[in-house]
Amino acid sequence: MLGDSVGYEIGRVWGTQIIARPFFDKRRQRLDQAQAFLRERGGYAVFLARWTAFLRAVMPALAGTSRMRYATFLPWNALGGLAWGTAVVAIGFFAGHSYQKVATWFGEGSALAVLAIALVAVLVWHLRRRRKQKA
């Protein structure tokens, strides 16, 4: 949790300068949309990010960059960490000696779950956007 708080603060202080670089110009609109989403409904994203290694590492900085309130970030991050840690310990406890099989399954399973959630989110976003354009 301390490391995530440091990552959040790094994103809050320097994140905007980093994403303002020309390297990110091609994705400017999407970055702006992602930042707006994190500001408005980012608690869920912070919670779900705990379940994949890459997002678990970068989400604190992304949340800080998007100016998500720390009072929103911290409880969702803690809840996600508690849920993830409990799940991993429980799986390890019940798996016993078949650790390698479970580790492989759990890694693939969590990646598939996040992919499914992301696809549903993109579909909902796309449908809402089309509905707004027709109105």
pLDDT tens digit string along 80-127? 999 999 998 887 777 776 666 666 766 777 767 777 888 888 888 888
pLDDT of residue 13: 94
pLDDT bucket at 47, cuts 50 / 70 / 90: very high
What pTM value is reported for the model? 0.63
CA 103 to chain centre: 21
Q: With respect to residue 37, please indicate whether it lies within any of the assigned structural domains.
A: yes
In a domain? residue 110? no
Greater model confidence, 32 or 12:
12
Radius of gyration of the chain (CA): 17
CA distance 79 to 116: 21
Within-domain flag for 17: yes
Q: Is residue 125 part of a domain?
A: no
Q: Would you state the pLDDT for residue 102?
A: 63
Give domain status of residue 134, yes or no. Answer: no
Residues 2-23 have a mean pLDDT of 90
Q: What is the pLDDT of residue 91?
A: 79
Q: Is residue 34 part of a domain?
A: yes
Q: Domain span at residue 86?
A: 2-96
Provide CB contacts within 8 A for 6, sequence distance 6+: 60
Distance (Å, whole) CA 76 – CA 8: 13
Residue 114 inside a domain? The answer is: no
Domain count, the chain: 1
pLDDT of residue 103: 67
Tell me: pLDDT of 60 over 70.
Answer: yes
Residue 124 lies in a domain: no
Give the other-Cβ count within 10 Å of 65's Cβ: 24
Indicate the range of 31-40, 45-54, 56-65, 68-77 predicted with least confidence: 31-40
